[in-house]
Chain A
């Protein structure tokens, strides 16, 4: 026995068609528009034609100056860090994120004192990238070593593996941060050579600018692969070293005078 259907009301069908079209448009359109907006300026992939690096002339690095550290903190929103309520000061000092720090060392034999800034050394063969179980710690084609905060599980193995103690773990709930430098509780982070500036085609890093502004010019930023770049010219003139050279990591940050 067949069921009898009521005849379709053409008006009702017309309404459904219009509604479906409307819903589709509402769902798809923002994606299309969003895509066209983001695709414009930074659509070019990072290439290995360049390798970003720093040269630090320790003879110019002034004792007691913290311009580079302050600038880095400001640039990356690290100055917005506040100790969680109830945190003991001494413990918090060891837990807050530090991307660049000043170190002052003295030779045991000769007594010579050296000042230098220390940050992620952007190794060609980064141990932090080797050990990361998920591949969150990675090296970009242009030599910048950084953390993909979407897949970092917060295991901190990279911090165990870094020979420069360059990485920090976000120990607290994140309340204040900058849009250009997203940070989050439970992930690891470190100096990324102001990667947001790289992606906008800007010339230098916050620490370099600050050092120059302070009149020291102890840090030079540039492309290690370009023989005509300022950093390569300087490196050709003066002798330089890598920290923990014996590990053969081929660091992107070079020091003269150590």
Chain B
């Protein structure tokens, strides 16, 4: 094992600036979309009084939980003392902060009164999970910055593990809080389930890791820095475990809902005749976000190919967005059951007449705002790795520390 050296990302300026240019353009278009929505009001979006959170929230929540998932890599190195993951800690911290910024920006810019953000920062109702989340998010940023300092500065070394432990606990709290935004809502049948909180935690592991792997592989390939098969193998296996975890929680969530007679209609609608939401569930969440990536990762040939592994990560991300679409929008589209055992014949406010779900179709400004948030996260990452020493020079097999299993074996042999 050699000493890990971190270096700025030194791809040719022309390539770097075109990347920045593309991200900047996406951000500028997202900003225009925001200006349009803010100027006109939300009637230009597909959101309405039944589906009150739409596509911006799909992107925002996805980015926010991915942020805490991206920090997982650093935690594995610091808190769980896996030496192989240590060199990835800095990038993990940077991406956690970047993804959170991107997600929060989308969330804030979708507010009806975004200019009143200062009100949200100064007037609190502590019974609100939203209010707790404001502290969880800002605290997360502060802790990640401290964590990065402890990784990068020699003086920070002794504090690295304590800060790492705080960061791990905090990120779990953050994702639990995000899941609870939905899980604590008694009003809507598809929410009102505490399992949403741990489900969001596992989802964050999967999505955060998938984004992290893509950024890692892209940035290393662009500059010709080596990554060994050992590390890629470990990361992709970890991704598979997380994807299986998401499956497990999805299964338990649906079984829980399915067991009670009062939810038969909900589960039947979601799994069989919910139109776009059923499609998003089976094709997006289950197939693209789960079965196909698992098939690739565990395939004897494809699973060793970098291109296919990157594709698997991409599919997990697409599947993640689809799951968020089902959880956030599908759960609102399903009508609130105010009169159990009765059918709504007429209503002046779309109360699920004849069991009909609420209308929602995303509009272009919403999608552009969401993509703007993604671009902000990537821009912060791109600038960060360019100007500061976040990326290890090499992650080749002989540079990386030995696996702890091998280490243990060596120790045993030496003692014998």
Residues in chain A within 8 A of chain B (CB atoms): 66, 69, 83-84, 87, 90-98, 101-109, 113-114, 118, 127, 129-135, 151-157, 159-165, 167-173, 185-188, 243-244, 247, 258
Contacts and interface: CB of A to CB of B under 8 A. Distances in A.
A102 B347 contact: yes
Contacts of A173: 40-41
A105 B111 CA distance: 35
Nearest to A186: B112
A133 B128 contact: yes
Top 6 A-B pairs, shortest CB-CB distance:
A154-B112, A186-B112, A101-B348, A94-B48, A133-B130, A135-B125
Contacts of B332: 160
Contacts of B49: 94-98, 159, 165, 167-169
13 contacts: A90-B359, A93-B350, A95-B47, A95-B49, A104-B344, A104-B346, A105-B344, A108-B343, A134-B131, A151-B116, A160-B188, A173-B40, A173-B41
B24 interface: no
A152 B46 CA distance: 21
B42 A95 contact: yes
Contacts of B350: 93-94
B53 interface: yes
Contacts of B259: none
A98 B348 contact: yes
A163 B186 contact: yes
Contacts of B5: none
Interface string B128-172: 111100100000000000000000000000000000000000000
Nearest to A86: B44
B135 to A, nearest CB: 11
Interface of B: 40-43, 46-50, 52-53, 111-114, 116-117, 119-120, 123-125, 127-131, 134, 181, 184-188, 332, 336, 338-339, 341-351, 358-359
Given A98-B49, A105-B343, A159-B49, A164 B42 contact: no
Given A94-B48, A152-B113, A155-B130, A186 B41 contact: yes
A4 B53 CA distance: 72
Nearest to B188: A160
A47 B93 CA distance: 52
A225 B17 CA distance: 70
A166 B160 CA distance: 50
A96 B348 CA distance: 11
A216 to B, nearest CB: 17
Contact of B187 (A101, A163, A186): A163
A163 B41 CA distance: 25
A106 B345 contact: yes
A156 B338 CA distance: 20
Contact of A171 (B43, B188, B345): B43
A26 to B, nearest CB: 31
A37 B267 CA distance: 59
Given A98-B348, A131-B184, A169-B112, 11 more contacts: A108-B343, A127-B187, A134-B123, A153-B111, A153-B119, A154-B112, A155-B130, A156-B112, A165-B338, A171-B41, A186-B111
